[in-house]
Amino acid sequence: MATTPETTFPVTVFAASWCPYCSRLIADLDRADLPEGTVEIVDVDAPGTESISEWIESVNDGNRVVPTVLYSDGTHATNPPAADVIAKIAELS
């Protein structure tokens, strides 16, 4: 398995601008009015994200699926609904 990306946020959303599921998750999380510093959004198409793409593929049966969400406890979720992410944030607090 590829190395898990490092993050200092409780939730890191690996997303792409062309992905409607990513846009929906990000918009729903924005509407949830979460505390500053809770969620980090990482553009998987940005230069230098090759190792992140490798990790995403390693946790999604070889597929580069976005959004893939990494939680600070090391767990992850693929294309989760915002309600699940918000519940996980509460669990991590």
- Whether residue 23 is contained in a domain is answered as yes
pLDDT in tens, 38-91: 999 999 999 999 899 999 999 999 999 999 999 999 999 999 999 999 999 999
- Whether residue 11 is contained in a domain is answered as no
Q: Residue 80 belongs to what domain range? A: 16-92
- Whether residue 3 is contained in a domain is answered as no
- Whether residue 54 is contained in a domain is answered as yes
For 12-37, what is the mean pLDDT?
A: 97
Q: Give residue for tokens 């979720």.
A: 77
Number of domains the chain contains: 1
Strand order in the sheet with 68-71: 39-43, 11-15, 68-71, 76-78
- Whether residue 65 is contained in a domain is answered as yes
pLDDT in tens, 44-58: 999 999 899 999 999
User: What's the angle, vertex CA 54, arms to CA 24 and CA 67, rounded to 5?
Assistant: 5
- pLDDT value at residue 1: 64
- Whether residue 10 is contained in a domain is answered as no
- For the domain that residue 64 is a member of, what is the CATH number? 3.40.30.10
- pLDDT value at residue 7: 87
The confidence band for 24, taking pLDDT boundaries of 50, 70 and 90, is very high
- Whether residue 5 is contained in a domain is answered as no
